Amino acid sequence: MYSESDLQAAVDAKVLTPEAALAFRSHIASVRAAPGADEESFRLITGFNDIFVSIAAVILLVAVGWIGASIHPALGGAFVAGSAWFLAEYFTRQRRMALPSIVLVLAFSGGVFATMVGFLVKHGESIFGNSPNETVGATLIGAMALVTAAATWAHWKRFMVPITVAAGTAALAATAVALVLAITGMPSPDGTLPMILVLIAGLGVFTLAMWWDRSDRVRQTRRSDVAFWLHLLAAPMIAHPVFHLLGVTRGDDIGSGAALMVVGIYVIFGLIALAIDRRALLVSALAYVLFAMTQLFNTFGAVELNVALTAFVIGSALLLLSAFWQNARAVVVGFLPPNVADQLPATVRAISPQPAS
């Protein structure tokens, strides 16, 4: 399987002419009755060899981490980070293997963070005492996340793996949340303040994702892949705090008013997903709307079949939305101001693929 970025790379290498690539994209768009941007494509695997290499890499990384941790807790993460970088030099930089590259960048970022955690486990008590206060703890977490973000940025500059930007952004978001909690002191017992901070950070990540998306409206380059992973990061950071503040995550029965509000928010998420042509928000909020719909059916007396009815309604609605996604997008985008619509991917009524710059 070849991605849009592979096709564009072939054009850049003069293996294909821009005209030939444009003709191919136009043909695929006409066959699928949808613009290429609508497919929301991203490279995960190119063949079973990706899975094979990823499994082998995980086994090796677990082994070196175990060996390092037996010497010193900090060396476990350091060995994983160093090994992941070394493996990426071949499997990412030379072989361009998608799934192993994702595994290796996550292992590298996690290894960097684990190195600092291991150091604190071994020497934290002598440095900060038996029980450092919460402000010191939050500051330490923020500092470690910031170092992880810097290391991830270096990985991005070297290997340009799309998910790396999302990993670094997650580290920066964790840094910001931790520092604010450190400044404000003890968070509220119900977790309201952390959830508000996560929501604000999620909106910031969403804005960054839209910036990347806006730079490649036809989704033919690596920039679109970067935006995909950023949207995947932003979606739960937005959905979970919103529904937490509504009381959905407390595990208790919610009232019909709150359940209707959850469904209404999901509809808004659906409209946003249609407008930006990204489905991550719908997926991230799915569990909450399933719970809310179950409560609604339970309220109206369908106790025995409430789960089945919920699954039937939501499943049918999502399948219909998927089948008529392009037409629904055209309607939603049609209501937007022209200057806003012009920043979004093309709809089915305006299929006009063009070579990426």
Q: Band of the pLDDT at 17, cuts 50, 70, 90?
A: confident
For the ranges 103-112, 142-151, 293-302, which has the lowest average pLDDT?
293-302
H or E, element range at 352? none
Of the candidates 274, 188, 288, 277, which has an alpha carbon nearest to the alpha carbon of residue 243? 288
Evaluate the CA torsion angle 217, 176, 280, 54 in order and state its sign. Answer: positive
Model confidence at 88: pLDDT above 80: yes
Is residue 272 within 8 Å of 281, Cβ to Cβ?
yes
Does position 9 have pLDDT exceeding 80, yes or no? no
- Over residues 228-253, the mean pLDDT reads 85
Q: What is the pLDDT of residue 357?
A: 41
Tell me the average pLDDT across 92-102: 91
Q: Look at residue 184 and tell me whether its pLDDT is greater than 60.
A: yes
Q: Which residue has the higher pLDDT, 298 or 63?
A: 63
Contact yes or no for 83/130 (Cβ under 8 A): no
Residue 307 to residues 200, 312, 325, Cα–Cα distance (Å)? 33, 9, 26
Which residues does 207 contact at the CB level (< 8 Å), separation at least 6? none
| More confidently predicted of 220 and 195 | 195
* Region for 40 from its dihedrals, namely left if φ exceeds 0, alpha if ψ lies in -120 to 50, beta otherwise: left
339 vs 27 pLDDT, higher one: 339
Per residue in 21-54, pLDDT (tens digit) is 666 666 655 555 555 555 566 667 777 899 999 9
H and E: helices and strands count for the chain = 15, 0
At residue 8 the predicted structure's pLDDT band, cuts being 50, 70 and 90, is low
**57-66, 72-81, 141-150, 346-355: range with lowest mean pLDDT:** 346-355
- Residue 330: C-alpha distances to residues 12, 34, 145, 233 (Å): 32, 11, 41, 26
Distance CA 233, CA 231 (A): 5
Top pLDDT among 145 and 137 is at: 145
pLDDT of residue 351: 45
Tokens 């659906």 belong to 270
Distance separating alpha carbons of residues 337 and 252, to the nearest angstrom:
42
Predicted confidence at residue 355, as pLDDT, reads 45
How much of the chain exceeds pLDDT 90, in percent? 43
Q: What's the sign of the alpha-carbon dihedral 335, 341, 345, 347?
A: positive
Q: Average pLDDT, stretch 301-310?
A: 70
The answer on pLDDT for 216 being more than 50 is: yes
Longest dimension (CA), the chain: 67
- CA 34 vs. chain centroid, Å, equals 24
Tell me how far apart the alpha carbons of residues 128 and 106 are, in angstroms, rounded to a whole number: 29
Fill in the DSSP letter of residue 336.
Answer: S
**Does the pLDDT at position 10 exceed 60?**
yes
Can you tell me the mean pLDDT for 59-87?
96
Report the chain's mean pLDDT, rounded to a whole number: 83
Report residue 53 CA to chain centroid gap.
Answer: 23
Question: Average of pLDDT values for 4-27?
Answer: 66
**Model pLDDT, residue 353:** 43
Per-residue pLDDT, 267: 92
Copy the structure tokens of residue 267: 């509809």
Q: What per-residue confidence (pLDDT) applies to 90?
A: 95
Nearest-angstrom CA–CA distance, 56 and 241: 37
Q: Which residues of 292-307 are buried (b: 16+ CB within 10 A; e: fewer)?
A: bbbbbbbbeeeeeebe
DSSP string, 175-208: HHHHHHHHHH-SPPTTSHHHHHHHHHHHHHHHHH
Token output for 252: 């208790």
pLDDT value for 27: 60
**At residue 192, does pLDDT exceed 70?**
yes
Q: What is the pLDDT of residues 99-143, one digit of tens each?
A: 999 999 999 999 999 999 999 888 766 666 666 666 677 778 888
Please give the residue that has the higher pLDDT: either 214 or 259: 214
For residues 308-328, average pLDDT: 88
H or E stretch at 78: helix 73-91
Residues with Cβ within 8 Å of 330's Cβ and at least 6 positions away in sequence, in order, are 347, 348, 349
**Which of 185-189, 214-218, 235-239 reaches the highest mean pLDDT?**
235-239
